[in-house]
Amino acid sequence: MDEQKSLVARLFAPPPKNWPAGVKFLATNHWSDSIPLELLAFYVPKQWPPPPQSPASAATPPPTHTPFPVKEATKERRVSVKKITDPSHPAFGQCGLFAATALAARTHILDYVGQVRLAADASETSDYILSFDRVTGLSLDAEFAGGEGRFCNDFRGVCAKANVEFDPYRDSKTGQVKMGIWVLAKDIKKGDELCVSYGKGWWRERGLIS
Ligand SMILES: C[S@@+](CC[C@H](N)C(=O)[O-])C[C@H]1O[C@@H](n2cnc3c(N)ncnc32)[C@H](O)[C@@H]1O
């Protein structure tokens, strides 16, 4: 019941401060209608935990699916979106994601929320797209609709190394597979920018490094 209340509260929550006009704020992932229902049931099970006898149990992944680890998600709002006003920052004039509270090493901060699509329907131009499941090829794109996670910048030119990572998991409360944003090995101070590594491939594909 508490879980249901907090979901309703999140679904109707207004966009956070500094949210850009033209981007739809999503509290939870939007799953494309073209994703087959059997595939969808693996990522968003109707019943959790699954019934012990069920052969189609979502806990036993088909061999063609990634077996996501079950982890606990935080319920707190732990980030803020801010405009970058420092001219020496490589994303000057854009936005970034910042710690709204101190964040302990290896903890869940928030989820990267967006639109989940089949590989065939994935955007080829989005700068807000992640691989959601390498095995099935699903993508997660927050270009036009998403959550605060879409503002996480790459560490290059900002700080010495990434302080957070994107890693998918199965939410222990709901059974849903989500893309978590997690603190790496060091605690993060309130006010620090959260920076991930997009990977060299991301910059190479855009012709920004060789
Ligand atoms: C996922 S978005 C990050 C949020 C973005 N700053 C915004 O306000 O919408 C990725 C884009 O942010 C910018 N960006 C992120 N990290 C950067 C970095 N280290 N150096 C330069 N630009 C960066 C680039 O324009 C990139 O295409």
Q: What is the pLDDT of residue 1?
A: 52
Q: 183 in helix, strand or coil?
A: strand
Report the pLDDT value the prediction gives residue 56, as an integer from 0 to 100.
55
Report the run of H or E that residue 42 belongs to, with start and end.
Answer: helix 37-43
Enter the pTM of the model.
0.92
Residue 60 has a pLDDT of 63
User: Which of 128, 154, 206, when mutated, tests ligand 1's pocket best, judged by the most ligand atoms within 8 Å of its CB?
Assistant: 154
Q: Identify the pLDDT of residue 2.
A: 65
User: Does 49 sit behind a cis peptide bond, omega within 30 degrees of 0 on the bond before it?
Assistant: yes
pLDDT at residue 140, rounded to an integer: 98
> What pLDDT, on the 0 to 100 scale, is given for residue 55?
58
**Ligand 1 test: best mutation among 89, 94, 141, 200, most atoms within 8 Å of CB?**
94
What is the DSSP code string of 75-110?
-S--EEEEE---TTSTTTTSEEEEESS-B-TT-EEE
C-alpha distance from residue 157 to each of 91, 106, 202 (Å): 9, 24, 15
Q: What is the mean pLDDT of each run of 10 residues along the chain (210 residues)?
A: 64 85 95 95 92 62 82 94 97 98 98 97 96 95 98 97 98 97 98 96 83
Q: What is the pLDDT of residue 118?
A: 97
Residue 84, sorted as left (phi over 0), alpha (psi -120 to 50) or beta, turns out to be beta
Cβ < 6 A, ligand 1 pocket: 90-91, 94-96, 127-128, 150-151, 153-154, 156-158
Q: What is the pLDDT of residue 209?
A: 76
* Cα–Cα distance for residue pair 146/128, rounded to 1 Å: 9
Which residue minimizes the CA distance to atom 18 of ligand 1?
Answer: 154
Q: What is the CA radius of gyration of the chain?
A: 17
